[in-house]
Structures are given as structure tokens and as C-alpha cells.
């Protein structure tokens, strides 16, 4: 009886090709291109803040319940609470202008990046932002988390007695 080596060897070699494909990690040129895309979004972010048009600004944000905004130490959970608080500010403070400088763009992977900005406005001399952007299926980068701080931020509220934040939408 003749051994069946070739078909078994072919099967063993073919199995890895049938598994899920694993994308190669992005090279430096890819990361640089993604960082440039994020920088362009941040330029639009500055232009949108100075336009005093909340809708133009909100087009740069991820409109979900998972969106988080930290203004100093005051969190807003969900895009709806953020836009309800921020929209009136931009409509009623048309004389306020912003300058922002990108300190760092860190592309975490092809779908996520972190940006650190330093800036000022006609109301505050030192503003700082940390923004987390996520890339959508349509290749748009949207802000999914924003932390803005300035000198003189209020002290944070004491932690909940259990040491945990209340769940979104749950009053405590």
C-alpha cells in the first residue's frame, strides 16, 4: 500500500490560507498620511469654533450616547447633552475667537487617533484639549471623546460613595 503523503501535505499547507486574513500593520508612510488627515480635521475644528455655527462644529463629532465631553472636571455623557450645552454658547458668544496649536497627533491604529491641542480665546489665555477621534466607515474622522481644560477649573466633585461613576442616564 502506497502512503498518501502529498495530499496531506497539500492540505496542511493550504489550511492557513483558508483562515481569516490578518492585515499587516500600517507602515510609517500610512501613519503619516493618517496623521495628516487628523490635522486637517483639527484645522476644521478651529475654523468651526470660530464660525459660531454649532451645526458646522457638531458635524465633527460622533453623535452617540457613548460620546463623552469633559469640561475641566464636569463630564457630559452623550452627544445630546453636549450639544444642548455647547450650542447656545457658540450662538450667543459671537465675539469670542479661538486660536489652537496642535501639540501632538498620535495615530493609535488606522481607526483611532489622539490629538493634544493648546490654545487661547478672547476669554481665556490658556486652553488645553485632548481629543480622541475615530475613523468612520466613510473615512471621516469624528471626535468621540473631548477633554477641555483651562486655568481656574473648579475642583472635581467628590467621588460617589461606591467609588464608581453612575451609569449614563441613571440619576443617583
3-state secondary structure of 169: coil
pLDDT tens digits, one per residue of 97-126: 999 999 999 999 999 999 999 988 888 888
Count of residues making up the chain: 172
Burial class (CB in 10 A: 0-12, 13-18, 19+), 131: buried
82 vs 148: CA distance, rounded Å: 13
Q: Does the pLDDT at position 155 exceed 70?
A: yes
Report the percent of the chain where pLDDT is more than 90. 59
69 vs 74: CA distance, rounded Å: 8
149 vs 73: CA distance, rounded Å: 8
Q: How confident is the model at residue 171 (pLDDT cuts 50, 70, 90)?
A: very low
Q: Does the pLDDT at position 62 exceed 80?
A: yes
Over residues 30-36, mean pLDDT: 95
Q: Does the pLDDT at position 13 exceed 50?
A: no
Average pLDDT score over the chain:
83
Question: For residues 64 and 23, which has the higher predicted lDDT (pLDDT)?
Answer: 64
Residue 15's pLDDT is 44
Q: Does the pLDDT at position 1 exceed 90?
A: no
Q: Does the pLDDT at position 7 exceed 70?
A: no
Residue 120's pLDDT is 86
Q: Does the pLDDT at position 61 exceed 90?
A: yes
CB-based contact 61:82 (threshold 8 Å): yes
Q: How confident is the model at residue 138 (pLDDT cuts 50, 70, 90)?
A: very high
Bridge partner list, 57: none
Give the rounded distance of the alpha carbon of 134 from its chain centre: 5
DSSP string, 81-118: HHHHHHHHHHHH-TT--EEEEEEEEEEEETTEEEEEEE
Q: Does the pLDDT at position 71 exceed 60?
A: yes
Amino acid at each position: 500500500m502506497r502512503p498518501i503523503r502529498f495530499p496531506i501535505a497539500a492540505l496542511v499547507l493550504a489550511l492557513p490560507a483558508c483562515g481569516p486574513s490578518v492585515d499587516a500593520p500600517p507602515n510609517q508612510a500610512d501613519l503619516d498620511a493618517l496623521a495628516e488627515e487628523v490635522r486637517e480635521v483639527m484645522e476644521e475644528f478651529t475654523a468651526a469654533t470660530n464660525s459660531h455655527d454649532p451645526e458646522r462644529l457638531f458635524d465633527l463629532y460622533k453623535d452617540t450616547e457613548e460620546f463623552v465631553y469633559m469640561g475641566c472636571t464636569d463630564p457630559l455623557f452623550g452627544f445630546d447633552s453636549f450639544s444642548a450645552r455647547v450650542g447656545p454658547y457658540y450662538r450667543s458668544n459671537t465675539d469670542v475667537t479661538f486660536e489652537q496649536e496642535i501639540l501632538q497627533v498620535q495615530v493609535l491604529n488606522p481607526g483611532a487617533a489622539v490629538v493634544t491641542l493648546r490654545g487661547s480665546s478672547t476669554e481665556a489665555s490658556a486652553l488645553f484639549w485632548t481629543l480622541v477621534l475615530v475613523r468612520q466607515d466613510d473615512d471621516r474622522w469624528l471626535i468621540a471623546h473631548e477633554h477641555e481644560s483651562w486655568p481656574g477649573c473648579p475642583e472635581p466633585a467628590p467621588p460617589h460613595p461606591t467609588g464608581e461613576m453612575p451609569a449614563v442616564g441613571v440619576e443617583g
